[in-house]
Amino acid sequence: MRKPRAAIFGCAGPDLSAEERAFFRDADPLGFILFARNVDTPERTRRLVDELRSSVARADAPVLIDQEGGRVARLRPPHWRAAPPARLLGDLYARNPEQGLEATKLNSRLLAADVASVGCDVDCLPCLDIAYPETHAVIGNRAYSDRPEPVAALGRAAAEGLLAEGVMPVIKHIPGHGLATVDSHESLPVVSASWAELERTDFLPFKLLSDLPWAMTGHLLFEAIDPKDCITVSAHAVRDVIRDHIGFDGLLLSDDLSMQALGGALGDRADRAIAAGCDIALHCNGNMDEMVEIAGRTSSMSEAAGRRFEAGRAFLTRHRDPAGKKGLVEAAKRLTALLPEWG
C-alpha cells in the first residue's frame, strides 16, 4: 500500500474548491490543518473536515488545528468555549501545584472535545516554550511558566487531557522558542545561549516529555548548535539535539514552511526540512501555487516516518479514556471552580 506524501497542507477557506479537491487527490498529503479562515458554523466546519479526508480517500487522515486557548484558538465563541491562556494555568500552578495540574488537564479535555466535535483529531498543544523577560510576544502568555519544571509538568497534564478524549497532542516548538526575541513568522530568531544553558532550560521540558508521539520544530537558529542553519533545516540539530539529546523518536513536523524565518523558495524549504530529518513538511496558508511547489519537492513518507506515525496511533489508543466524555459537564464546572477569574 502506497504511503501518503510527507506533507500536511491547509486550504483556502471554509469550503473545499474543485481545484483543491483535485490537487489533494493527486498529491495525497498525510493530512491537513485548519485555521480561522476555515472555520464557520460547527456543521460547515465538520463538512470541510469530511471533504478533506474524502479528497485523499482516507477516513483516518489526521486533521490538525491550533486550539491552545487564549489568543491562539481557531474555534471561538459563540459556537465553542473560550479557554484560558497557558500562563493563567501556570499562575494557578505556582499558587497550588495540585490544582494547577488538575485545571490544566480538565481544560485540555474540554479543548479536545471541541476539536473532536468538528472532526479534527490532532491539537497543536502543549506549547513547551519557557517565558523569559526577553521572550517575544508571539509566545508571551502561551508559555505556562518561566521555569522548565512547571512547563514540563503542565505540558504533561495538557497532553494527558487531550489523549483522554482521543486527540493527539503535539509538543512544540522543539527544542524551545522562549529565547527568541523576534517573531519567527516575520524573521529568523538567532539565539546565542550556550549548550549548557540550553540543556538546563529550553531543552528540559521536551526531554521530560520526549515519550509523546508528535512534535513540531521551532524556526530558530541556535549558534551553539548550528551557526549556519535554523533547527528545522539543520541535520545536525535534528539528529544531535532532538533525536539524541532530547530523545524524541516520534513523528517530527516542521513548523509552517511559509513563515519568513526560512529563506529561499518554498520547495527548497520543504526539501531541506525533510533532508534534515523532519518526517513531515507542514504548510499552512492554503496558497495553491506554494502547495504545488512543495508537493513537487516531497515524496512519500519514509519507512521511519511511517513507523513513527503508526506508533503514535497505538499510543493514542492506549491512553484514550473510553468513559471520558461522560464527565465533560462536570469537568467544565470543576474548571470554573478552580479558575473563577476566568469563568
Cell of residue 284, nine digits: 499552512
If pLDDT is split at 50, 70 and 90, which confidence band does 104 have?
very high
- Contacting residues for 320 by C-beta, under 8 A, at least 6 apart: 163, 164, 165, 166
Query: Chain centroid to CA 14: how far?
Result: 21
Residue position matching grid coordinates 513547551? 128
Q: Is residue 343 part of a domain?
A: no
Which among 123, 255, 256, 279 is annotated as catalytic? 255
Taking alpha carbons only, the member of 241, 265, 249, 234 closest to residue 315 is 249
Q: Is residue 237 part of a domain?
A: yes
Select the highest-mean-pLDDT range: 127-136, 161-170, 317-326.
161-170
Domain region containing 153: 5-338
Which among 79, 185, 236, 319 is annotated as catalytic? 185
Q: What is the pLDDT of residue 327?
A: 84
178-199: average pLDDT: 91
Q: How far apart are CA 298 and CA 7, in angstroms?
A: 7
- Contacting residues for 265 by C-beta, under 8 A, at least 6 apart: 293
Q: What is the pLDDT of residue 99?
A: 98
Helices (H), strands (E): how many in the chain? 12, 13
Q: Which H or E run contains 112?
A: helix 97-117
- Contacting residues for 246 by C-beta, under 8 A, at least 6 apart: 174, 175, 203, 206, 207, 210
124-142: average pLDDT: 93
Q: Is residue 317 part of a domain?
A: yes
* Count of structural domains, the chain: 1
Q: Note whether 272 and 237 are within 8 A (CB).
A: no
Residue 240 catalytic? Answer: no
pLDDT, one tens digit per residue, over 285-323 is 999 999 999 999 999 999 999 999 999 999 999 999 876
Residue 255 catalytic? Answer: yes
> 3-class SS at 143?
coil
Q: What is the pLDDT of residue 131?
A: 95
Q: What is the CA radius of gyration of the chain?
A: 19
How high does pLDDT run on average in the chain? 95
For residue 324, pLDDT beyond 70: no
Cell of residue 133, nine digits: 523577560
CATH number at residue 303: 3.20.20.300
Q: What is the sign, positive or negative, of the torsion defined by CA atoms of 8, 174, 269, 312? A: negative
What does the H/E/C string look like for 66-107?
A: CEEECCEECCCCCCCCCCCCHHHHHHHHHHCHHHHHHHHHHH
If pLDDT is split at 50, 70 and 90, which confidence band does 29 have?
very high
Residue position matching grid coordinates 496558508? 285
If pLDDT is split at 50, 70 and 90, which confidence band does 101 have?
very high
Q: How far apart are CA 280 and CA 67, in angstroms?
A: 20
If pLDDT is split at 50, 70 and 90, which confidence band does 223 have?
very high
